[in-house]
Structure 1
């Protein structure tokens, strides 16, 4: 046994021993990957557009990567195997057999016999056939519940580990900057602190099962011009440092093992060749020691799309020097690395640096140990959607449903005749995000006739079960997308005969224009897709009370609709248990627990407008465009009532390295149990640079029985007021800070000034990033 194979030795010692034994070609092999199961699907007969795709420009780049067999790709070793389970509808046993086969090829084709890291997508659960589909990430954000999201991630991690997978390509730490962007559904909302807390919880949960979490997309992807996928981002460094990087920094501090760089360019510099981002910030400032992987085909994009290098060899050299380690999903550019080193065009130190990181992860995963076996135990017995998973999915779905306005009809009062209409009422696909297997991969296999792989009761089915005794008539009225209005008269007739209408409208997630939400499914404005607005106008004209449930991946403008409806609910793609959760919330059997992680716009234009705006970005008479939201960040109603009282701040003067405590008493003053989300905001009246009017600095989710009381205490460190100054150094400035507390951005009844005294203090990566919360029964 060689020293690098000896698990009793230190990992660093094993890695250096192995590195010293490797040729240039063997080192380069560890930085590549192979997506063997990626076969581009042809378009339908007569169609002009490409067939369904699960990655950008898949038809072009998969052809390039597909020219190389796995034996050829692995002849000097291989870094990663791409999506063995997530490329076609296979059972766990079939996927496990194929993964074992591919690992055997990798081991047997190379001199050193080093296995590859197997990675999969896992944003809403393992992206494989038959696996649990949890709510979309934007729904996690609506829970304001990091502990619950950590439980979900741990369950996803356990499923991945049982399948023999090593790395998951989640979570997204992108902060929403424009609601028109198709990938809003994959994010954790528009506030950096909310993204930080929930994303870090996901990282810790996933990695508790031994799975490497991958933070994406580093960075600026969500800030593209006009919300256009892959669009350039007009970002100054201060916006990057203050708004977009803090969630990644928090997740790195939480232990994330990998980072995926994004496709976009920031101020004309592609993220994949940005030394400032990948080395100075990520490595030097934050101390990140894991791997940086490319987004799929982002490395050849440097030549073909960004045009900052002449060819694929130039792309390989520039991105490796900038700090990137592994090219995904296929080795295209990195096949040039050996010649670049041999010809003296790339210093071997860059190659060694990246290989050392990859081998360290392989050693920590046990892939260098003798006797390692790629096949999981009894894969034929693996159940990917067990009751425990479904229970978590149900809790997240319920906890994420936002009651925007109960109106006059909610909770339902046992209506006798109910019309259930809308394109999201009886289509289970509308409950799932674009990275759920049924929406992400199954469209590539129209010949597959075995169903979605999991049980997903629709809203209509769930309401029939929930409202036993009621006469329910269903009429969809229209599709999510398209201009077909032929079904609207039937929906109007059903509504006119009913005591109550429940309309389910919103999105159908897809990829690259095949959905109304999802990757590559960006929009011009925030009107409901297709002719859904016409459908709602028509049924509202009947005079029958209409409850509207928006099932979507982004917020839509509801300003014209809200005054006319009898109740309004927002459900952010609630997953496989969404139907039961929605039915229970509508009936009142379950409490609506969600709060808005993005604002609900009043009008469809005038975008982008998220809440983190400076004074000149706020609604005013300066412009004729009203950007005030219909419902603000953090908003959400309940079926009970709460009283907040006895607000206090223990110190009103602290040093620039001190802290203060904020306290408030929360009482359930209603007649049923419920949940309130207490929110703490800070503002900086006078600063050396322009700052947002307010920013979220802490939150606490509090569930109370009737008349129960809880004291909420939040410990706020001065670091939570830090800003990026004119010299781009992060500093805590002396001066006055306003502390506001309440239950949404626009409902902040308590305010107190705190003065920071002493000299300005420069802070670094050791600064305090969170606001600890303590709940005490009163």
Structure 2
């Protein structure tokens, strides 16, 4: 480490101002296979003349933005092209400093041929951080094989409003669950060598925007920010050592997160001790001029972001490249501060071994393996949430099944917004970027039942036309230019055929939900926010008419948000929620429908009764529903809910000591037995309620959970340890305080299905906690039979 610092300092002392600033810049290039490129900039793709290599790379460059994940080119050929740019940097520039490469990676490397894992909602639905760590480790392996140095994940936004298009990128609506899953993801992605760099986003409160609209302001006090939205970030920073953090686009009380010194420097760096890179969200800094209008020009915008704590602009050919230099000349930024950021980036490049190994090893690229596909399917299977079942599922052998729905045989219905088929479909078509091993629900169901047992009719289409070119960053969406929204189909002519198929079959599997697409080009995804919880397009009409056929109907909801599902809640025999389950999703759904997989997911989101109840989340305060409580407030299916094909018996609940001091910990145990006839997994959830506090507190808060795998008849003991500090919160003086007093303990199968209760007490004086407070519970599982 000391050697790296000394070498970085030597480099720094030899650099011009232009060369220093170049290290704080990332260029977003559309790189062709021959190594030529064009520049993607805010609002347009600039068509420049002259030597682009010299103009863009001549002084060096900090990073290259999504060199694989912008074009749907063959990864091996693309690697050769990227190496040409890297060769220029290390042979033709004065200082010979290589560039770091970054890619999106929430559900896998967003690269043609990479494994596509399920959405983050699926991750949260597993309640299994170790499994998600394994998935993230596989993603990290694929990124490393590509020579990628930084991955732009995980998303730690806490879901609050199901209208928000980016809901599918979150782990759910509980901050503790988000934090625990985030820790698992970061440790898995970065590995022991902290490479590739994980990037926490979007710091902070991005998911609580006005009206759940993308980029809209957040109206939230700093205590709520700290207690809810910042908590997952704090948990991950303290327990997983992430290497980067990305501030969000929005403003909080008039201050954009991009330029918020109190959040980025005072809280994140000084209080929490984060010492990694602070990277801008795409085009966020130029938005300080064009959208937030808190800066007169690029120099002021650069100074605002940089002085708040920003290290590098991703992508940044717009502001830092020229604006930061002008800010230095005006005295808006100090030379010392500039040197500190450049030094940090140089040290990171040295730590990653970039100077010794600047090139991608084309022969080492390893994407889309069968091993990773099996893991992706495992995550999908363990994330499926059985919301309702009267015994119709699993499907009995010999039944003829009518498979209906626009998504049942769609080539990329299983994928989230940050997956290659959604981002890269414009230039080559989505089918080219769908993994070879992926199956649609139709194909997978035919595989397990036989072609002759499945009658398929789509019933409708979500869209009749294809997206000609995907829009995938805010700079493509220009105010006043009328960005084209992909129009949903209104054609109901196919519904009759679907109903006929339903009548011919013994049981109907109706697949409904979302197609992801960004900025209005899908029904969910970044910038595709909803105004209604009615199923998109004519799917609601299709569902109602199929339910009226009188045949048993199983609804499969493939979506990035909860929907109210109207008559399905009362009239469908079963409802299986799959979220966006990735390349193994078709197989996972089919195997679950026929009983080869026992559903064990628990929903990380409440299913609201209506859009009028938004924002809604289980951990609300007592007065949140109004007085009298509004009838639309509440849920159809609560947070933590999920059924199984087997049954579980809970017993022998014990609290070792119901009173502890503020330095102690509670020991809570119970026994769980599989009292059914098939193997299954149960999730035990622990919630608390602070009975009397100095500030208004939620009616329930998740503080621990454990996933327990049990064979038929098997019994296991689950033991939880809850440190007293886990009961703390940010108090009136903006300090983390642990208050003495009484707490209700709830142990249950969901936030509403409570099996055991008890009263806990923390004795002694109220206590202000240090920055090293214990924010995690622990659990152990012991087999008893």
TM-score range, shorter chain: over 0.9
Provide the residue aligned with 2:427 in structure 1.
445
1:378 aligns with 2:363: yes
Q: CA deviation at 1:377?
A: 4.9
Provide the residue aligned with 2:5 in structure 1.
12
1:405 aligns with 2:398: no
1:352 aligns with 2:359: no
Q: CA deviation at 1:405?
A: 1.2
Provide the residue aligned with 2:701 in structure 1.
695
1:583 aligns with 2:590: yes
Query: CA contact under 8 A between 1:526 and 1:605: conserved in structure 2?
Result: no
CA distance in 2 between counterparts of 1:67 and 1:698 reads: 60
* 1:102-251 matches, cutoff 5 A: 102-208=85-191, 210-251=195-236
CA distance in 1 between counterparts of 2:694 and 2:739 reads: 8
* 1:590-601 matches, cutoff 5 A: 590-601=597-608
* Cα deviation digits, residues 36-73 of structure 1 (max 9, x gap): 1179xxxxxxxxxxxxxxx9x97615439999924212
Instruction: Assess, with a 3 A threshold, how the Cα gap between structure 1 residues 377 and 449 changes in structure 2: closer, same or farther.
Output: closer
Q: CA deviation at 1:257?
A: 0.2
CA distance in 1 between counterparts of 2:328 and 2:294 reads: 21
Q: CA deviation at 1:606?
A: 2.1
- Secondary structure of 1:640's match? coil
Provide the residue aligned with 2:479 in structure 1.
none
Query: CA contact under 8 A between 2:42 and 2:283: conserved in structure 1?
Result: no
Provide the residue aligned with 2:735 in structure 1.
729
Instruction: Assess, with a 3 A threshold, how the Cα gap between structure 1 residues 454 and 764 changes in structure 2: closer, same or farther.
Output: farther
Provide the residue aligned with 1:741 in structure 2.
747
CA distance in 2 between counterparts of 1:75 and 1:383 reads: 32
1:506 aligns with 2:492: no
Instruction: Assess, with a 3 A threshold, how the Cα gap between structure 1 residues 494 and 448 changes in structure 2: closer, same or farther.
Output: closer
- Secondary structure of 2:707's match? strand
* Cα deviation digits, residues 445-464 of structure 1 (max 9, x gap): 15687463533211111111
Q: CA deviation at 1:338?
A: 2.3
Provide the residue aligned with 2:476 in structure 1.
none
* Cα deviation digits, residues 715-770 of structure 1 (max 9, x gap): 10111111111121110001101111111101112111111111111113311111
| Corresponding residue to 1:497 among 495, 504, 527 | 504
Provide the residue aligned with 2:244 in structure 1.
258
Q: CA deviation at 1:16?
A: 2.4
The aligned length equals 749
Query: CA contact under 8 A between 1:559 and 1:603: conserved in structure 2?
Result: no
- Secondary structure of 2:201's match? strand
Query: CA contact under 8 A between 1:34 and 1:329: conserved in structure 2?
Result: yes
Q: CA deviation at 1:776?
A: 1.1
Which deviates more, 255-264 or 344-353? 344-353
- Secondary structure of 1:392's match? helix
Q: CA deviation at 1:235?
A: 1.2
CA distance in 1 between counterparts of 2:30 and 2:302 reads: 24
Q: CA deviation at 1:306?
A: 0.4
1:650 aligns with 2:650: no
| Corresponding residue to 1:299 among 285, 289, 303 | 285
* Cα deviation digits, residues 143-201 of structure 1 (max 9, x gap): 00101111111111111111111110111011001110001111111111111111111
Moved over 4 A (4+): 64-68, 446-451
* 1:388-399 matches, cutoff 5 A: 388-399=371-382
* 1:432-471 matches, cutoff 5 A: 432-442=415-425, 444-445=426-427, 450=432, 452-468=434-450, 471=453
- Secondary structure of 1:703's match? strand
Instruction: Assess, with a 3 A threshold, how the Cα gap between structure 1 residues 59 and 505 changes in structure 2: closer, same or farther.
Output: farther
Provide the residue aligned with 1:770 in structure 2.
776
Which deviates more, 57-66 or 394-403? 57-66
1:86 aligns with 2:79: no
- The root-mean-square deviation of aligned C-alpha atoms, in Å, is 1.9
- Secondary structure of 1:616's match? helix
- Secondary structure of 2:733's match? coil
CA distance in 1 between counterparts of 2:429 and 2:494 reads: 28
Q: Which runs of 5+ in 1 are unaligned?
A: 1-6, 40-54
Query: CA contact under 8 A between 2:140 and 2:196: conserved in structure 1?
Result: yes
Provide the residue aligned with 1:569 in structure 2.
576
Q: CA deviation at 1:376?
A: 1.0
| Corresponding residue to 1:333 among 319, 335, 342 | 319
- TM (norm. structure 1) is 0.93
CA distance in 2 between counterparts of 1:612 and 1:584 reads: 34
CA distance in 1 between counterparts of 2:47 and 2:304 reads: 21
Q: CA deviation at 1:777?
A: 1.4
Instruction: Assess, with a 3 A threshold, how the Cα gap between structure 1 residues 676 and 157 changes in structure 2: closer, same or farther.
Output: same
Instruction: Assess, with a 3 A threshold, how the Cα gap between structure 1 residues 421 and 762 changes in structure 2: closer, same or farther.
Output: same
Instruction: Assess, with a 3 A threshold, how the Cα gap between structure 1 residues 452 and 58 changes in structure 2: closer, same or farther.
Output: farther
1:608 aligns with 2:615: yes
Provide the residue aligned with 2:721 in structure 1.
715
Query: CA contact under 8 A between 1:135 and 1:574: conserved in structure 2?
Result: yes
* 1:277-296 matches, cutoff 5 A: 277-296=263-282
CA distance in 2 between counterparts of 1:559 and 1:632 reads: 16
Query: CA contact under 8 A between 1:698 and 1:771: conserved in structure 2?
Result: yes
* Cα deviation digits, residues 422-453 of structure 1 (max 9, x gap): 111110311000111011121x2156874635
Q: Which runs of 5+ in 2 are unaligned?
A: 33-38, 463-487
CA distance in 1 between counterparts of 2:330 and 2:294 reads: 21
CA distance in 2 between counterparts of 1:407 and 1:214 reads: 43
Q: CA deviation at 1:701?
A: 0.3
| Corresponding residue to 1:530 among 528, 537, 543 | 537
- Secondary structure of 1:648's match? strand
Q: CA deviation at 1:529?
A: 0.9
Query: CA contact under 8 A between 1:135 and 1:433: conserved in structure 2?
Result: yes
Which deviates more, 227-236 or 330-339? 330-339
Query: CA contact under 8 A between 1:77 and 1:109: conserved in structure 2?
Result: no
CA distance in 1 between counterparts of 2:119 and 2:294 reads: 35
- Secondary structure of 1:243's match? helix
CA distance in 1 between counterparts of 2:184 and 2:318 reads: 34
CA distance in 2 between counterparts of 1:200 and 1:79 reads: 27
Instruction: Assess, with a 3 A threshold, how the Cα gap between structure 1 residues 774 and 412 changes in structure 2: closer, same or farther.
Output: same
Q: CA deviation at 1:605?
A: 2.8
| Corresponding residue to 2:303 among 306, 317, 323 | 317
Query: CA contact under 8 A between 1:327 and 1:334: conserved in structure 2?
Result: yes
* Cα deviation digits, residues 302-339 of structure 1 (max 9, x gap): 10000000011110011100000100113211122223
- Secondary structure of 2:18's match? helix
Instruction: Assess, with a 3 A threshold, how the Cα gap between structure 1 residues 411 and 224 changes in structure 2: closer, same or farther.
Output: same
Query: CA contact under 8 A between 1:119 and 1:167: conserved in structure 2?
Result: yes
CA distance in 1 between counterparts of 2:267 and 2:50 reads: 37
Query: CA contact under 8 A between 1:71 and 1:106: conserved in structure 2?
Result: no
Instruction: Assess, with a 3 A threshold, how the Cα gap between structure 1 residues 626 and 271 changes in structure 2: closer, same or farther.
Output: same
Query: CA contact under 8 A between 1:86 and 1:120: conserved in structure 2?
Result: yes
Query: CA contact under 8 A between 1:71 and 1:105: conserved in structure 2?
Result: no
CA distance in 1 between counterparts of 2:525 and 2:430 reads: 22
| Corresponding residue to 1:272 among 250, 258, 261 | 258
Which deviates more, 756-765 or 512-521? 756-765
